């Protein structure tokens, strides 16, 4: 199932999440949809939404001492009660939904990078800098940065986010808030990177979203999932392999079948879906040390 339609007012439907409007609270439901190259695939990956929700919940709880966040509860009973849904309709929500405080979203992605990868690597090759920050010459793909770098990006409605300088972000949200966003993001990154290093992983980079309720700054959306974060196996990194827990497998398949990256995307073979599912469950296990509740 790629998502159930609930008899609740829809707040927004993202590529992955269906968000319902409960007034001061939102119900965020992570479906099993998966996207690649900004296009949602027609084939869902079973239980992926549960991994995303439960991993976000893990990090929200772990990082509460660093910054308040939007999580109210992931408890199924409490969610059923808050929505007023009949149990028959609510079953699908179990393990994949989160009641959160509704916030005014800050329309920037707060990215922190400890290593040179992804769009930062591309930018560095062209300009020698990332989001206006000059880096030493001669860095290789995957190089560890001297210190974590805050590299904000716009959240564009079209889905193609664009890296911007800290100053450009400050010009929109104000210097004071921009400073708080940077400081909070770097603190979160440091905490998360240290946690996963103890579990044999490296956090190459990660993205945060923030929102405001009144003057209070909240961490919102998802945190520390393979969709928002690039995790590498530490031993593989030492051998020079930079394979992330993310959708590389899926991207490789789509390249192989020669899909032109414009919708509709092709259906995925059963074996690939099963392999992706296994990888998400494995990512959860490696990061948290426990099993996803299915």
Q: Does 98 bind ligand ATP (CB under 6 A)?
A: no
Among the listed residues 36, 46, 37, the one whose alpha carbon sits nearest the alpha carbon of residue 3: 46
Residue 68: partners with Cβ closer than 8 Å, 6 or more residues away = 216, 217, 218, 219
Determine the size of the site formed for ligand ATP (CB under 6 A). 19
Distances (CA, A) of 67 to 78, 96, 196, 207: 24, 23, 19, 15
Closer residue to ligand ATP, CB minimum distance, 79 or 242: 79
Q: Does 70 bind ligand ATP (CB under 6 A)?
A: yes
Closer residue to ligand ATP, CB minimum distance, 58 or 124: 58
Maximum pairwise Cα distance, the chain: 60
The residues in 237-266 that bind ligand ATP, with binding defined as CB under 6 A, are none
Q: Does 221 bind ligand ATP (CB under 6 A)?
A: yes
Distances (CA, A) of 89 to 69, 80, 293: 28, 9, 20
Q: Which of 62, 94, 155, 286 binds ligand ATP (CB under 6 A)?
A: 155
Q: Does 17 bind ligand ATP (CB under 6 A)?
A: yes
In angstroms, the CA 96 to CA 52 distance is 8
Three-state SS annotation for 27-60: EEEECCCCEECCEECCCCCCCHHHHHHHHHHHHH
Q: Which of 48, 50, 96, 102 binds ligand ATP (CB under 6 A)?
A: 102
Q: Which of 2, 3, 15, 182 binds ligand ATP (CB under 6 A)?
A: 15
In angstroms, the CA 55 to CA 273 distance is 20
Q: Does 130 bind ligand ATP (CB under 6 A)?
A: no
Minimum Å gap between C-beta 61 and ligand ATP is 16
How many other CB atoms are found less than 10 A from the CB of residue 36?
A: 19
Binding mask 182-211 for ligand ATP (x = CB under 6 A): ---------------------------x-x
Q: Which of 105, 277, 285, 286 binds ligand ATP (CB under 6 A)?
A: 105
In angstroms, the CA 70 to CA 100 distance is 5
Q: Which of 112, 202, 220, 287 binds ligand ATP (CB under 6 A)?
A: 220
Q: Does 100 bind ligand ATP (CB under 6 A)?
A: yes
Q: Does 50 bind ligand ATP (CB under 6 A)?
A: no
- Per DSSP, 232 falls in state E
Q: Does 48 bind ligand ATP (CB under 6 A)?
A: no
Binding site for ligand ATP (CB under 6 A): 12, 14-17, 19, 26, 28, 70, 100-103, 105, 155, 209, 211, 220-221
């Amino acid at each position: 199932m790629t998502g159930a339609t609930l008899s609740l007012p829809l707040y927004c439907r993202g590529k992955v999440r269906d968000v319902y409007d409960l007034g001061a609270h939102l119900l965020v439901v992570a479906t099993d949809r998966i996207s690649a190259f900004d296009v949602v695939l027609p084939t869902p990956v079973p239980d992926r939404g549960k991994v995303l929700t439960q991993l976000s919940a893990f990090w929200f709880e772990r990082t509460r001492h660093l910054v308040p966040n939007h999580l109210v509860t992931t408890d199924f009973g409490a969610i059923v009660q808050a929505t007023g849904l009949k149990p028959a309709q609510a079953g699908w929500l179990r393990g994949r939904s989160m009641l959160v405080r509704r916030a005014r979203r800050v329309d920037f992605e707060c990215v922190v990078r400890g290593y040179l990868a992804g769009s930062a690597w591309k930018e560095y090759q062209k300009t020698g800098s990332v989001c206006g920050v000059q880096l030493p010459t001669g860095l290789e793909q995957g190089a560890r940065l001297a210190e974590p770098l805050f590299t904000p990006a716009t959240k564009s409605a079209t889905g193609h986010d664009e890296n911007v300088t800290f100053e450009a972000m400050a010009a929109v949200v104000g210097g004071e808030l921009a400073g708080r966003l940077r400081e909070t993001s770097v603190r979160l990154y440091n905490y998360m990177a240290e946690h996963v290093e103890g579990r044999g992983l490296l956090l190459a980079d990660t993205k945060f979203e923030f929102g405001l309720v009144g003057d209070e700054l909240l961490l919102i959306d998802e945190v520390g999932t393979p969709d928002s974060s690039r995790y590498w196996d530490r031993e593989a990194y030492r051998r020079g392999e930079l394979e992330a827990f993310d959708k590389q497998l899926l991207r490789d398949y789509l390249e192989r079948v020669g899909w032109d990256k414009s919708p509709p995307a092709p259906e995925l073979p059963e074996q690939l879906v099963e392999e992706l599912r296994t990888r998400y469950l494995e990512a959860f296990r490696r990061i948290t040390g426990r099993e996803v509740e299915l």
